[in-house]
Structure 1
């Protein structure tokens, strides 16, 4: 007789096989989707696009709206058959019901921070007058809409803390509306700014006005699909209409540039950071606000390097940059000099330098060591002043502050540790917990491992593997990946992921090439013609989870969002045998037409341009929509998207799901779940999040053999 753990695994796998056989014997009747005979000839190749009509805006095309309604009906009918769904929903609501706080910002002796009592759809903005003052409510977005889908997005107090500038996000869209609140009285001012998108918010020095970035108002009916071009920076004076706002900076001869503005703490300067795509390659333009009519002065020319302002003292500006340092360094530029030049303050180290802020009279510098945050304090001369001892393996975020004030706050979280807020003094190096959440579980019940595995070309890739200490070998595993745009996948807490692990599942996050975990070279190794490395890394991660015995064949699920949705779609096409189930969420699925909608043009930096022949052939080779393999046996797939996603328009997922359902790829379900009044992810209300993860865990759990919460 085999050992008890192995016997349990074998019995579970047998039960899974019976469940899959039973489910597979009852094929789903998908809605009929109209096909067209559209064929484009691109660089000598005929490209059929039978479902192009599904690119139309669901709000303006009744046929697309009806298709979404019928697909959701089929998906909901299937999900209703999964017995675990109700128990998962109940447990997720319990896990989500804990207090969550944001990192405080201090202005004029006031402390501003967000709080969610647990199951509120949106977090509430609070303020304290003084550290020990009584907190009071400033903004409660939960009353802004009936469905809870209108959210408080960015917010920024004026330097004296008397006014609050904030942006409103409705239905998940990237468009924002700006409003201003009197902090003392709680009165909403008449000021209102529309058509803001991808903007920073920056007050002037005396709180009489602010700077922001906006796009021209789109033509009627094109709000959610038109390309974003000609962004401009404006200044708004409090108490005046938007029509009176003064244009600070625009580049009509270069309409593809984006512009983000920030102001120095003393109010003397405005710095505009311009970029063209998603790569961190910036130009810097400086305005001296002491002049009545400030003229632009180019501080850094050419879209070549990363530049991030850490803070300034007078004319001395401190930047984090990858200029002559692929893992980044800190430099100082004296903008008062006739020919400003960067002077190195903190040299490049062995780990990737990912953050730098000037707080008090010192610099706080954050590094990423094997995808884990490490923080170090430096003097302005570049001399180390000691490490900031973070509580565990995890992610630190925040560390904002002011010149001359040593107080800063940061949040720390890990896979089994919700965000705890810490207060830190850069002068005394004293650290203390400021806000610690009360939990309905014990973080010590969970084990966080970091594994290293070899990809197809021999590259070592790190992967976090998280599970309950009691989870047996061969357990169902959920493999998550992203692998793009220099974005690092670091440890972070999610009540949804905790729910998956409570049910006995393993959660694995692979730190794929294309991300920023090891700096510029790691990113370069996973983009453009090297994008296949990302897919190879993810496939190798899945193979490792099975070969190591952490999971088992038939018990592995794949999941990714946005660029990660593209990842999942591509690897499922390449290795459908590896996965039992998959969920590509809000993914870029048509790699030949992504540049035609909203923010798609920015992604050329990572993907290449489908209108260039060399790039076209690479993109054609892995585009999920164009490479579905009829005749192969595909895993169960639940595609997810949202009708107000104006980042990755839902037509990507609509077309991909229609193509899956039309192909001969086996009897497992290939469904799509379309959320209403939601976008790419930000601002999604708690109720919608719980429902979405209830459906995902019920679906993925069913096809990997994961028991329901009440069946453990």
Structure 2
């Protein structure tokens, strides 16, 4: 179900909140000088004993660094923080951690919350089984293993055996399995290994029958989706050229000039065959896909996080692949998305939003691929969004729709697109699906806010078959009947109707409770119902409420919803989030001083912009791995891909829009007590090569400078930088729990809450 477009997007929308959540707010600060360095004294909340001195580091300001944007001179005094290897940057990070880490972790409540999170986290987690050849595979985590383990079994009734255990590759669990793909016959397996959370991966190939790896290791790859030739002798993959300097995830250099190669199993990487390159387009990224019949290679090309080109070529025998292949251009303009479903001879079926904001299924005959000859196989739904689609059982297409943020699953015929059936689902989300055209069986994984996981099995080959529960996750001491979920709708600033889920314990009367307000709002990513251990611990520990508004910029209502929250309309995202907070207060759920906002990646940008614009609406804020410098985001790692959502500073209109909301460029000292920043925790990681830590470092340096002499800023503004972790994917369980504990403890201290256990 995961396409390259999804992998390249900024973040972990629901997964971030699964890993950690939070709350904040705090008291009296007094500035003073000591040894020539400015410090700030923070009085601890009444819930804590004693006091702590917060010596916010006074980051050096280099006023000579000035950029000219369309005639506007803009200073960038913390440009030096963009160098992660300088001793000055390392010292700055160390000083910040020496403030934040003891504040978060040196208290009895941290230990209590950590114990509760660890206990709740300790339950078995499974993926859907997926069939390759004559075997079934699935991922499982017994509970607290740092990485999920891949198992194999000859039948669904056989005893599973460990096929690949990433936990054996490092003592601290910081090596993760990413980007795996089986050969067509299921006898070979290519997989990527990522270290310390970096997007960089090293590709290995394993013999499924023996469990042994071939000698070669393929390097310089990111976001790998290897695609095997039908004869199982090798696969196509994209990689970046070798550049000077390090490439371990802690660097900031832009990723450019990706090339497509063919690798033959058993040969060294130096012998890989160059298939395609576009030196005149250094920002293009490629995803190869061999057709189900094996006779075609499709090449999907992207330069942003939406819209793509589509080329193809007729495949020769793998031994005849000796150089660049001639590519036929099907889609030549970046104006729509295309996901391959299957093909019958030259007739190819794609899911697309071309002339269909809610997506439809079209057929393109590769013998005559001009757009005038395209036909619609399954019409766009007038309301529901076609989120993904897969061909199974030779002639069926399974379609995953989003209906008012909830998942809907139905089946159509491949031959004519006609409706066949609909699978019954409760209110929740399909988070996993497995099925192939050559197999009759499918599995789908359902979760909700109160359902940790149910995996269903269905076999099209059985007459009158019904979906059956293959595996259901149950958590000890968790009774979902004690909670309730409601979906409410509220109006944003411009009158747009926004949906929001609210999760809390059942009660006879509504009280003004602490509220965790989570948001994302970007890159066509939908925040659907998900099961969050951290969220449930928040509810249980503080008698709190979880609120998930489906703000614009996401994909909950198709491209209309996405387009209404990107580029020059990005302010709608911030307005939607702010009006969610106002609705929660007006409806009696909570008070502004009890609201903590939380977001990661693009959601970190959301948090940063909102505490600048409307600090009075929130008691606290947690910004994880956020994009904070909106004038230079495109210069680092994969950042140029985000221009499709944020805009290009080289265009005056986009520059003016970005400058208006960029968190880094809109920090200010409060003029009244009401305008002070809510207690804020900014989190980042040293191996995040998706959103470089420099964003968070520069933002916090600017915050501390702006409020340094303010007697009105009484809430703490802290930075925590984690080591040996990245943007989120592949993060070890131990580090997930540590981070979640830090966040919940910060909320407890700054909002002065009481533990209910």
TM-score interval (norm. to shorter): over 0.9
> What are the residue-to-residue correspondences of 1:596-611 with 2, within 5 Å?
596-611=635-650
For residue 448 of structure 1, report the CA deviation from its aligned partner.
1.4
The answer as to 2:631 corresponding to 1:586 is no
SS in 1 for 2:340: strand
Which deviates the most, 13-22 or 601-610? Answer: 13-22
> What are the residue-to-residue correspondences of 1:246-325 with 2, within 5 Å?
246-279=273-306, 281-290=307-316, 292-293=320-321, 294-325=325-356
Which deviates the most, 656-665 or 600-609? Answer: 656-665
RMSD over aligned Cα atoms: 2.1
Which deviates the most, 490-499 or 219-228? Answer: 219-228
Rounded Cα–Cα distance in structure 2 between residues aligned with 1:387 and 1:43: 55
- Contact 1:27 / 1:667 at 8 angstroms: preserved in 2? no
Equivalent residue for 2:512? Answer: 474
Equivalent residue for 2:683? Answer: 640
> What are the residue-to-residue correspondences of 1:171-250 with 2, within 5 Å?
171-221=196-246, 224-250=251-277
For residue 14 of structure 1, report the CA deviation from its aligned partner.
14
Instruction: Give the unaligned 5+ runs of structure 1.
Output: 1-12
For residue 22 of structure 1, report the CA deviation from its aligned partner.
7.8
Instruction: Give the unaligned 5+ runs of structure 2.
Output: 1-23, 29-42
SS in 2 for 1:521: helix
Which deviates the most, 494-503 or 686-695? Answer: 494-503
- Contact 2:668 / 2:703 at 8 angstroms: preserved in 1? no
The answer as to 2:149 corresponding to 1:112 is no
- Contact 2:27 / 2:714 at 8 angstroms: preserved in 1? no
The answer as to 2:417 corresponding to 1:379 is no
> What are the residue-to-residue correspondences of 1:433-444 with 2, within 5 Å?
433-440=469-476, 441-444=478-481
Equivalent residue for 1:699? Answer: 746
Rounded Cα–Cα distance in structure 2 between residues aligned with 1:522 and 1:575: 23
Rounded Cα–Cα distance in structure 2 between residues aligned with 1:468 and 1:357: 38
Rounded Cα–Cα distance in structure 2 between residues aligned with 1:498 and 1:241: 49
> What are the residue-to-residue correspondences of 1:34-113 with 2, within 5 Å?
34-37=60-63, 38-57=65-84, 60-80=85-105, 82-113=107-138
- Contact 1:159 / 1:205 at 8 angstroms: preserved in 2? yes
Matched pairs, number: 694
Match 1:424 to one of 458, 463, 477 = 458
Q: Measured at CA, do residues 476 and 270 of structure 1 come closer, stay the same or move farther in structure 2, by a change above 3 Å?
A: same
- Contact 1:485 / 1:515 at 8 angstroms: preserved in 2? yes
CA deviation vs aligned residue, 1:635-670 (integer Å, no higher than 9, x gap)? 100000000001110000001111122222602111
> What are the residue-to-residue correspondences of 1:452-491 with 2, within 5 Å?
452-470=489-507, 473-491=511-529
Rounded Cα–Cα distance in structure 1 between residues aligned with 2:225 and 2:684: 27
The answer as to 2:75 corresponding to 1:32 is no
Q: Measured at CA, do residues 581 and 15 of structure 1 come closer, stay the same or move farther in structure 2, by a change above 3 Å?
A: closer
Match 2:715 to one of 668, 687, 695 = 668
Rounded Cα–Cα distance in structure 2 between residues aligned with 1:445 and 1:182: 48
Rounded Cα–Cα distance in structure 2 between residues aligned with 1:705 and 1:313: 63
SS in 2 for 1:649: coil
> What are the residue-to-residue correspondences of 1:538-557 with 2, within 5 Å?
538-557=577-596
TM-score by length of 1: 0.94
> What are the residue-to-residue correspondences of 1:537-576 with 2, within 5 Å?
537-576=576-615
- Contact 2:179 / 2:223 at 8 angstroms: preserved in 1? no
For residue 680 of structure 1, report the CA deviation from its aligned partner.
0.6
- Contact 1:192 / 1:241 at 8 angstroms: preserved in 2? yes
Equivalent residue for 1:126? Answer: 151
Rounded Cα–Cα distance in structure 2 between residues aligned with 1:153 and 1:705: 40
For residue 179 of structure 1, report the CA deviation from its aligned partner.
0.3
Quick one: higher RCO (CA 8 Å, sep 6+), 1 or 2?
2
TM-score by length of 2: 0.88
